[in-house]
Amino acid sequence: MLDETAKGVFTIAVTPFLPDGALDEASIDSMVAFYEDKGATGLTILGMMGEAGKLSAEESVTVVRRVIARASVPIVVGVSAPGLAAIRALADTAMEAGAAGVMVAPPAALRTDDQITGYFRNVSETLGKTPWVLQDFPLVTGVQMSPKVCLQIFAENPSCVMLKHEDWPGLEKISALRRAEAEGARRVSILCGNGAQFLPEEMLRGADGAMTGFAYPEMMAEIVRLTGAGEVEAARDLFDIYLPLVRYESQPGLGLAIRKYTLARRGAIAHPTVRKPAPALSDATIAEVEALIARQEGRLSART
């Protein structure tokens, strides 16, 4: 079961599809193996970048069961939904199938501090004993949670064990939460998102790792290791080699298609298909990705 000590790299997994848009179950297996091989200490499935919204309820269950059956690391399942009944239904299925915990983002309509904390009290009551991750992603949800609100959620809901941090900018938020903990607040795990664009700084501010889906999880695993070992300059050197592609993959709207292209190129999944409605990658975009990967590989070789 997921708890406050979780650390490392929980990769946000994609959902693989066949060229016709059907679930590609074989690629689920190869993808899980790929992520684990590249250093993932956990996987998060059915997140926004897992195209959760594009799956039917039945398909979601298929993905959950297949991933859990293959994985040897803990699995977190995204269960965000417009209503509590759908959250409970998927969470129950996931936990029965062997998930380590679930993740919930706030619905877009929430505005005031009281609305937000009230919503998560309802969520926590709905989930019962299931450990859950608070997803803080204002760029997409439009919901802004101050450190004070996050701390209140952690205090009121002991089964909330982790913050998926992707406020942007959010470095000060990590520092504020860690300061509050030093003064007695309950400590939770903080794993960071945003495509790893700020991972070195996030680790130095006190994060426990990454929860994001950049197509080279080995970079994230190594940054976590190096910063943990105090080798900050080595971490930055490595990060800078990957940064041009990290940046390119972080483009809203297009980023997932770029990520799936790269994962298919690396053999993690069989097809780069993104489910409709989705943008197709133009030849120009593919050429840009290839140029960035070639430069990245060249710089990695030059290092050794």
| CA dihedral angle for residue 230, residue 231, residue 237, residue 242, rounded to 10 degrees | -60
Please say which residue, 74 or 213, places its beta carbon nearer to a second copy: 213
Dihedral sign for Cα atoms in the order 68, 74, 78, 79: positive
- Taking the complex as a whole, how short is the minimal distance between the CB of residue 243 and a second copy, in angstroms? 5
Is position 135 an interface residue for a second copy (rule: CB under 8 A)? no
Is position 19 an interface residue for a second copy (rule: CB under 8 A)? no
Q: For the packed helices 84-97 and 57-70, what is the interaxial angle rounded to 10 degrees?
A: 30
Is position 144 an interface residue for a second copy (rule: CB under 8 A)? yes
Q: Which of 62, 52, 112 is nearest to 82 (CA)?
A: 52
Q: Draw the binding track, 39-78, toward a second copy (x: CB under 8 A; -: no contact).
A: ------------x-xxxxxxx-------------------
Pairing mode of beta strands 101-104, 160-165: unpaired
- Measure the CA–CA gap between 286 and 219, rounded to whole angstroms: 22
Q: Draw the binding track, 228-267, toward a second copy (x: CB under 8 A; -: no contact).
A: --------x--xx--xx--xx--xxxxx------------
Task: Output the six-digit token pair for 212.
Answer: 């994001």
Q: Which residue type sits at 60?
A: S
Is position 171 an interface residue for a second copy (rule: CB under 8 A)? yes
Please say which residue, 118 or 128, places its beta carbon nearer to a second copy: 118
Q: Which CA distances in Å does 300 have to 49, 68, 238, 295?
A: 27, 33, 8, 9
Is position 302 an interface residue for a second copy (rule: CB under 8 A)? no
Please say which residue, 67 or 145, places its beta carbon nearer to a second copy: 145
CB 244 within 8 A of CB 219: no
Q: Which residues contact 33 (CB under 8 A, 6 or more apart)?
A: 70
- Taking the complex as a whole, how short is the minimal distance between the CB of residue 162 and a second copy, in angstroms? 21
Please say which residue, 1 or 109, places its beta carbon nearer to a second copy: 109
Q: 49 labelled as ligand-binding?
A: no
- Looking up tokens 């140029």 gives 291
List residues near a second copy by CB under 8 A.
51, 53-59, 81-86, 88-89, 108, 111-115, 118-119, 122, 138, 143-146, 148-149, 168-169, 171-172, 175, 197-198, 201, 204-205, 236, 239-240, 243-244, 247-248, 251-255, 275-277, 279, 282, 284-285, 288, 291, 295
